[in-house]
Each structure stands twice: as structure tokens, then as C-alpha cells.
Structure 1
Amino acid sequence: MAAVDVEDESILASIFKDSFPDSWRDNPDFAAYLSELSSFGVEKLSREPERLAEERAQILQQTRELAFSNYQTFIRTADCTEHIYRDFGRVESSVSRLLDKLPGFGEKCRGFMKEAEEIGASRRMNSLTLNRHTEILEILEIPQLMDTCVRNGYYEEALELAAYVKRLEKKHSALPVIQGIVREVRQSTQLMLNQLLQQLRSNSQLPVCLRVIGYLRRMDVFTEAELRVKFLQARGTWLTSILAAIPEDDAYFHITKTIEACRVHLFDIITQYRAIFSDEDPLVPPAGGQVNEGAIFHGWVVQKVAEFLQTLDRDLQRGVGGRLDSLLGQCMYFGLSFSRVGADFRGQLAPMFQQVAAETFRRAVQEAVDKFQEDMNLYTLIALPSVLGGTIPPVAPSSQPGTLQPPMALLDFQPLACFLNNILSAFNDLRLCCPVGLAKDVSECLEDALKMVTRQILVFHRAEESAFSSREKELFVQFCCSYAEDLLPFLNRCLQVLFPPAQLALILGVPATHLHRYGGLGCVDVAAILEPLDFVLPEKETLALVPEVDVAAELSSLTFDTQIEEPEPTRSDARDSGGEATEPKEEIQDEEFSLE
């Protein structure tokens, strides 16, 4: 059937080609009418136009009648249509405007809903906060409470608060409030750390140090090695402040107070360290590349001892006023006390004091030589009463047994007497601190000085020889003989008192009779000193050798008085040498004598 309709349509299309618009083809009534026309006969088909005209006229008549009878309805319909058209236009424009505003309105609605949700969440949080107000207030007051505990010294409570805040940080590290609390608590913890270290920099006793180190360990800010370094640094700073407060105007006062402060406080620091920390052998390296904690303390003690020795050396160079013996005793006691903690430094003291003693003696001998040179420049050979057959009041021998009496013959020659007196003063100063190791240096220094004295005597002879009278020549020979036979042997005896040959031999491990093989050890070479004066001295087979004298080392009484009348002391030299009082020494007075 469908195939027949398709064929009919194709036939009709070919027959009525271009007879009707293309738009009619889609009208089903048109297709049905064409089908009906194709079924008409010729007669009926011829009458079809008339029928259609009549039907058309009838329809037009009916339309006019309908329009006439219902014209008001049509008018109202047109009006309504017009109004509806206008209303639809307004609606359409309003709908367009509404559609344009709907996205913004929707965005604002979504924002409102979001704000409403946030307000609701905030309200719920505020309600929860109000319910937990007490607990939250305690947490928020932790920084203030921590600061109060630290400033009032309640370190135990402060450490508990710090530990609680650490636990809070682990649980709620993302919360800004907790971050602020942690930050403020860390600031208070830093303040507590500074206060604890400041306590170590003060005069803290062992219980305080133990408590402070316990707090520092619980704070866990230092490793064990760092904690030891911090302890030693803090205590060292305190000791340095004490030493810096000692006045430095007087070298002896400064070094004695330094010795006392170091001996007391440094020993306390070492005791505190050993009570707080346990060290292994500092010389044994730790296993596994760990820090040698024992070496930290050992190095610190060595540094402090080195600083003390530097201070001692500096003050010794400044001069301690001839009180080396007292100072040496204090230093030795200091070193002995440190031997109990394994820091005995007495072996380093000997070279320092030996050097200072040698330098002091060298300066004193040089001053004696300079004074002798001045005296010789002003000296005039005169006939003394003893030379002219006069009498000199006898000088009472020393009342102290075991002391050396200077040769009285030197009183006739003022330059020699003054020189000997100055040398004896140097010997008396050296006797207070006289290391055996200085035997060679002292002997060589004295021998060099005596050679200079000999050269000065030769200078005097060359300058005055042309003007010598026979009496003055005789006096000059006696001057040289007194120098060779009285002064030099007596100085050798003094050297034997300062450096006993038996003691030197014992130290060297040789017999006392073999000491002469070690030239310049505890004696001066008289022959070498007198060699330039051989042409003046009378010829003798041998100079009398001075027998070895084993007497006490009391040299303070070895003084001269060149007064012809009753000798009276004009100056007393009382030295403060660790509680030892020296005997008064009489000053040599220059006295001129005239020949009768």
C-alpha cells in the first residue's frame, strides 16, 4: 500500500508539475484531495471546478455573515490580541532583565548561604567555647604563668609548663592560638636559660650548681658535651670577673691576690665540676667518633693554669720588690693544692722564678759596676791612717755565729768597699730566692762584672799613672792587692754560701773534688779576672786558695762601715719576705782622709 501511494504521488507530481507550490505537498489534505481527483470520472471531473466555485462562494457568504454577526467579538479579539502582544513584549523584556539578573542573584544567594553557614558554625564554636571557657582560659594563661614562674625563680613549675606546651604543640600544631602560645613559652624558656647561665656566672656553691645543671639537663637544649662547655665557660667568666676586679697598681699585691683567688675559686670550680659530671680518662679517645668529654675539662684546666702563669710572668716582669721568696712559697702551695686534682704545675714555676731572680741579680750587679765606675772617676789615692801607721778602732766581730765577716782591709779603699757592699745587697736579695740552677748564671754574671771592674781599674791606672807619686804608686798597688787578695776570695766564699759545693756535687752526681772541672759553677775564675793586673800585682808563687766554708746562708749582716769613728747604721733595710724580717744593713759613707 505504501508502495502504491508513493507511485501515485510520483504520477501526480509529474502531471501537476509546476501547478501548485511546493509547500502544498506536505499538506495531507492536499494529498487526499489529489487522490480523490484521480478517482473521478471525466464528467464528474469536469463539474469539479463549478462545485469548487460554488463551495467557495458559499464559504465566503458564510464568512461575511459570521463576520457581520460577530464583528464586535472580532474587534475585541483584535484589541485583546493587541494588548496581549504588548503585554507579551513587556513580559519578554522583564523576563530578559530577570534572566540577566538571575546569575548575580544566585551568586549572592550562595554567598548568603555560605555566610549563614559560617555564622552557624561560629555560633556553634562560640557555644562550645563558652562551655569550655575555664579550660581554654587556663591554656591561654600559660604564657603569662610561664613568665611569672621564670621571673620569680620557680623553675620546676616552669619546666612542667614547658613540657605541657610541647605536648600541646604535637597534638595541635596547626592551630594559630597554639602556635602563639608555643612562641611565647619559648621566649620565656630562653629567658629561663639566660637566668640559669647567669647563676653559673655568679658566686654559686655546689648545691646551686647541681640544681642549675639539673634544670639545664631537663630543658634538653644542650648535649652533654655542650653542657660541660657551658658550665666551664660560665664559671670561668665569673672567675675572670673576680680577677679583673683586683687592682693592678702594685704588682706584688696584684699577683698575691690573684694567687689567692685562683687557689680558692678555681679549686671550687674543679670540685663542682667533678661532683656534677663524671669523666673517663681524658687521654683515652672515645669509641664511635664521640666527643671526648674528659678532654674538655682537661683542656679548660690547662688553659686556666696557662692564664695564671701568664699573669704571674707579667707581674714578675713588672717587679715584686724583692719578695720573690714569699711569692714563690704561695705559688708552690697553690701548685701543691692543685696536685690533688691532677693539675700540679709547680714544675713550670721554677724557670719563671729562676729567670726573674737571675735578671734581678744581673741588674743589681750592673748597678754596682756602674756605681764603681762613678766612684773610680772621682777617686783620689790618699794616705789613710792605717797606711801611715795610724790606728783604726777595732771592729767588733759579728755576734752571730756562722756568718761571714767582710775583710776589714777594704775599708781603706772606698770604691772597693762600696762595690762589695752593693754586691752583698744583690746576694742578700738573691738569697731569698736562690735556685741551685742559677749557680752557673750567677757565677758568670759576677765574673763578667769583676772583669769590668778590672778594666775600670786599668783605665784609672792609665789616666793617673803619669801623675802618680811614689806614695800614690804604693797605694795603688795596695789597692790592687786588696782587690785581688781580699775582695775576690771573699766573693767566692759568698758564692759557696749561696751554692754549697756539696749540694752542687750531689745534684750533678760527681764528687765535690771534681767540681772544678765544671768551670764557672759556684765560683769565679780569679786568675782570669786578675790577668790584666799581673803587671801591677807583686809576684807571688800562688795566691792563697780560699778554703771551702760551710756556713749558714745568712748574708744580711755582710755590710761595711767606712767611718773611722764609732760605726753607726744610717739606713735599715727591712724587707717583707713572707714574714721574715731582715737585719738592718749599714750604708757605706764616703769618707776622705788627708795625709799628715
Structure 2
Amino acid sequence: MLEASEETIRPGRHQAQWGNGQDEPHKFQDADQDNAYLTELLSYSLDRLNKEPSLLLEDQSCIRRMMQDCAASHHSAFMEATKSLADVRDHMGSVNTHLRGMLEALPSLEEACASFSESSGQVVKRRQSHKQLQANHPQLLELLEVPQLMDTCVRNSNFDEALDLEAFVSKLAFLHPELKVVKGLHDEVKRISSAMRQQLLKRLSGSIQLPECLRIIGYLRRMSALTEPQLRLEFLRCREQWLAEQVSELDTQNPYDFLKKLTDIHRLHLFDIVMQHKAIFSDDTTANPEAHVAADAIILSSWAHHRVTQYLEALKAHLPRIKEGSSLSSVLEHSMYCGMSLGRVGLDFRPLLPPIFESCVANLFTMSLGNALDCFHAALEKHKWIAMPSVPSSIKRTSSKGSSAGSERSGAVPRDGDSEPSEDLSLARGVCQRAAAGVQRAAALHPAGAAHARGAVAAGRAPGRVLRAVAHARDAGRRGVGAPGLRVCLLHHGRRRVPLHRFLLRAAVPRKLGHG
């Protein structure tokens, strides 16, 4: 219990010792209070001693609250006192520093006064130069207005005057490189010259003709900012940018119109760009003409190859979307004419067109043949089949020999009684004619496509539904339940030992479509 009491009162004792250690009477007073308190504790009963720690804690909390209330009510005074003390300390230090600095600066002040008297002569010289500057003020003002005048010339497209001003400032900077004013003028003129070069390149990226191209390239050469190879590359880059913008503006919803307009753009503008390049850079002379011509050819041919490749890629991407043979033929005609026109400048790409259009013609023919045979199959399903009486074998052999001999002599299809293969044979011919009509015009312009399509069908690579429809018709004819004309047609086909789909193709497709 005594130890708890001592621990409880220990903070007060420590607080008494936190002073500056110079107030000895307070120490003796605290010791007397401690002795009195210990004497009082010895006189307490056991119950009173048990309650003493809690009472001390209550007193401690009460004293702490009183201290907090006192600090809260007088916090502004504490803060002001602390701030004032810090300010006083700072001011005292700065005062001491300033005093020391003043004492140290007195000798330098004396030296400065002496140097001032010496520099008065220089001030007089500057005054004279200022008088001279004032006398030449109009001429200097005109010189300082050169960048603004050059900028106005560039904005109004007076490039000749702007280049003359640039040459004047460059000569002035060469004669007086030590003058800051002249150097500043030269830097400002260089900035405006860079803006003029960008404006010229922007014009070169628009729709311009050869005379305008010659003027722009002449201005760029006078500026001497680009070498000749760089000038060629910039020319082709600008024209490529303009040509790409023309292509990007085309509507790709209708592939036929898109490809025709794309072909016209390449036929007209690609030819113009190549001619402009040859006309502009043909009179250049270098120390090594052969190397110059080779470099020029490499730059131009690389760009032309890139442009033609882009055009062929567009053909490959959009040709499969065309579903009509006449449209495909028209696109092929435009492409061949474009290649022939560009052949005058060495860009004849017509040998690269057959593989692209050949596959499209074959796919179009196969698709059309499949659609037509679907209609033919539907017609066979809807046809009212008539059971035909069986023919005796002896009569069949006799009639077959006579009919075969007659057909071999006359080349006519044998008949079964009085029936004519008019209705069903017309239907069979219409199936293949519908498929061949879509690619007939394209085959006339490019026979290899039709030959490829005909070869695919003749080799048995027709769609599965085509073969199933033919097999269904053949089985119906053999059973004798087909229409009279169709049965006779199938019987004649069976004697000739020719695949039925090839027979129908021969009946429908003209010979020139297959062999061109």
C-alpha cells in the first residue's frame, strides 16, 4: 500500500524536480510536504489506507482537469508569449548579424566609392553611344521590323519577298555576328522561315498542278533547308498524304462504285504525281550522274510499288463483295485501262490482275451455279411425275440401235415415242445458263477466269448440292417416273457416258466462255 502511494505521488515529485535546478528552497519545501504526508499515512486505519489510492487518483484527475481548463482559457496568452520570445530571439540574432555585416561592408563601400569615380568615364561613353542610337533610330526601327514584315509576306503568300528578307538578314548576321540585336533578328527570321517551309509543304499536300509544284519546289530549294534526296522524299510524302486522303474519302458501302472511283483516282493522280516528280527532278546535276539517277529511281520506284500494292490489296479486299458478273467485268475493264494508262510511266500492273480476278470469277460462277441448281432442285421437287410404261427389251434394243445410228449421223437427241424433251430440257439448260450469264462478260474480257471455273466444274469440284440434284434427276429418269422429255434426255446422257453436270454445262455455257 505504501509503495502504491509512493508511485501515486511520484509524478508530483518529478514535476517538482523538472525545474531549472536553481530554486533550492522549493526542494526543501517538497521534502517537508513528503514527510508530513508519510506521517499522516501512518496514522490512517487499514480501510482508510485501502481507499487512499483511489482518492489520490481522483485528486490527480481533478488537478489535471483544472490544469487543462486553465491552459484552454489562457492558451492565447501562452502562444503569444512563445511567439514573442521566438521573435525576440530571431530579431536579436538578425540585429547582431546586420551589425557585423555593416562593419564588414564599410571597407568595400569605400572601395565602391573609389570605383564609381573611375567608372564615370565609361558612363560618358555609353551616353555618347545612346546619342548615336537615337540619331539612327529610323533605320534601326526598319531593321527591327524585318521579322514582322517577313511574317506578313508569308501569310499573304509573297514567298519571293520573304526569301529576299531572309537572305538580307542572313548576310547581316554573317557580317556582324557579335551584335546581339542582329543575332536575335536572325533567330526570329529562322523561326518564320521554318513556318514558311511548313506552309509550303502543306500546299504541296493539296490538289495542285505541275506549275504550282515547280514554284513550291523552287522556294524550298532557295531556302536550302533540305538536301535533294530529302526534298524528293518530302515531295512524295506530301503527295502520298494527299492521295491517301482522296482514297479515305471514298464510300465503301457499295464495292462496285468504290473500286471504280479508286481505280479512277489511281489512274489520274498516280500518273500526275509520277510525271510531276520526273519533271521537277529531271534537270538536277550532281558530281556522279549515274548514282544520282539510281537514287532517284529507287525513291520513285519504291513509292510507286507501295502505291500499286495498296491498290491491289484494296482489290483483293473488296472484289469478293461484288455479286454480279457485269459489275465484276466493269471493274476489270477499269483496272486494265488503269494499268494501260500507268504503263506510259512504267507502272503497268496488268499482269498482276489475272490471279485476283480469276479466283473471283471462279467463286462467282460456283456460287451462281449453286443458286441456280437450288432452283432446279426445287422445280424437280414440285414437278408432277408421270409413271411411264415399261418398254420390252427386244423393242428397246431395236429402237436403241436405230436411234443410236440415226443420232450419230444427225447429231440429234433420240426420242422415246412422241415425247419431246422441251419442257424439262429447257429447265435443265436454264439452270446452267443462269449460272453462266453472271460471268460471261467477265470471261470475254479475261478468259482465264472462265476456263478456271469450267475446269473446276468439269473436274468434279462442284458443290455437293449440285451433285445431289443431278443424282436425284438421274435416278428419277432411270426409274421411268420422270417427265417424258427429261427421261429421254437422261437416257441419251446415259448412253454417251458423260457426267450429267458436265453435259448440262456444255448445253448452257457457250464455247467461247469455256475456252476464250
TM-score tier after normalising by the smaller chain length? 0.5 to 0.7
**Alignment deviations for residues 210-243 of structure 1 (CA, whole Å, 9 cap, x no partner):** 0100000011111101101111111121122222
* 1:193-592 correspondence runs (5 A): 193-278=197-282, 287=291, 292-319=295-322, 321-322=324-325, 323-382=327-386, 409-413=420-424, 417-434=426-443, 435-438=446-449, 439-446=451-458, 448=460, 449=462, 453=466, 455-456=468-469, 458=471, 477-478=487-488, 480-481=490-491, 484=494, 489=503, 491-492=505-506, 494-495=508-509, 497-499=511-513
| Cα drift, residue 367 of structure 1 | 1.9
Structure 2 residue 191 is the aligned partner of structure 1 residue 187: yes
Q: Residue 265 and residue 360 in structure 1: after superposition, are their counterparts in 2 closer, same or farther (change >3 A)?
A: same
Paired residues in the alignment total: 374
* Contact 1:431/1:498 (<8 A) preserved: no
For 2:402, the equivalent position in structure 1 comes to none
Of the three residues 133, 136, 140, the one matched with 1:132 is 136
1:492 partner amino acid: R
CA 1:152 to 1:478, structure 2 compared with 1: closer, same or farther past 3 Å? Answer: same
Deviation digits for residues 173-224 of structure 1 (CA, Å, limit 9, x no counterpart): 3433223222221121111101111111111111111010000001111110
**Unaligned runs of at least 5 residues, structure 2:** 1-103, 389-414
Cα 1:426–1:117 change in 2 (3 A) is: farther
Q: Aligned with 2:126: secondary structure?
A: helix
Quick one: structure 1 residues 118 and 499, their matched pair in 2 at CA, closer, same or farther if it must change by over 3 Å? same
What displacement does 1:333 show?
A: 1.5
CA contact (8 A) 2:324 2:438 kept: no
TM-score under structure 1 length normalisation: 0.56
Q: Compared with structure 1, are the counterparts of its residues 111 and 412 closer, same or farther at alpha carbon in structure 2 (3 Å cutoff)? A: same
Distance 2:152 2:458 in 1: 74
Alignment correspondent of 2:146 = 142
Partner of 1:96: none
Q: CA RMSD in A?
A: 3.7
Which residue does the alignment assign to 1:154?
Answer: 158
1:180/1:341 Cα in 2 relative to 1: closer, same or farther (>3 Å)?
same
CA distance in 2, matches of 1:331, 1:348: 11
- Give 2:324's aligned amino acid: G
What CA distance in whole angstroms lies between the structure 2 residues aligned with 1:461 and 1:491? 16
**Cα–Cα, structure 1 residues 291 and 149, in superposed 2: closer, same or farther, change >3 Å?**
farther
Instruction: Compute the TM-score of the two structures, normalised by the length of structure 2.
Output: 0.64
- Per-residue deviation, residues 461-492 of structure 1 (Å, max 9, x unmatched): 87999xx7x76698985463266579854632
- Aligned partners of 2:474, 2:448: CA distance in 1, in Å? 38
Structure 1 residue runs without a partner (length 5+)? 1-99, 385-406, 504-596
Amino acid at match of 2:266: C
1:311-331 deviation per Cα after TM superposition (whole angstroms, max 9, x unaligned): 222221221632222222222
Contact 1:410/1:487 (8 A) holds in 2: no
- Residue 121 of structure 1 corresponds to which residue in structure 2? 125
1:410–1:131 Cα change, 3 Å = farther
Residues 246-287 of structure 1, C-alpha deviation per residue, up to 9 Å, x if partnerless?
22221111111122222122211112111111289xxx9955
Q: Do the aligned residues in 1 keep the contact of 2:429 with 2:508 (CA within 8 Å)?
A: no
- Match of 1:232, as an amino acid? L
Cα offset, 1:373, TM superposition: 3.9
Q: Helix, strand or coil for the counterpart of 1:381?
A: coil
Asked if the contact 1:251–1:320 (Cα under 8 Å) also holds between the matched residues in 2, the reply is no
Amino acid of the structure 2 residue aligned with 1:293: D
Answer with 1 or 2: which has the greater Rg.
1
Q: Which amino acid aligns with 1:491?
A: L
CA change 1:377–1:148 in 2 (3 A) is same
Asked if structure 2 preserves the Cα contact closer than 8 Å seen for 1:372 and 1:419, the reply is yes
Aligned to 1:528: none
CA distance in 2, matches of 1:312, 1:487: 32
1:378 Cα offset (Å)? 4.6
Greater shift, 303-312 or 102-111, is seen at 102-111
* Kept in 1: contact 2:173–2:183 (CA 8 A): yes
| SS of equivalent to 1:188 | helix
CA distance in 2, matches of 1:101, 1:471: 132
Instruction: Give the distance between the partners of 2:364 and 2:485, measured in 1 at CA.
Output: 35
CA shift in 2, pair 1:303/1:190, >3 Å: same
In the other structure, the counterpart of 1:32 is none
Change (3 A) 1:475 1:272: closer
Q: Displacement of 1:310 after TM fit?
A: 1.7
Q: Normalized per residue, which structure has more helix?
A: 2
Q: Secondary structure at the match of 2:347?
A: coil
Report the CA distance shift for 1:174/1:429 in structure 2 as closer, same or farther (over 3 A): same
Letter in 2 for 1:312: L
Query: SS at the partner of 2:373?
Result: helix
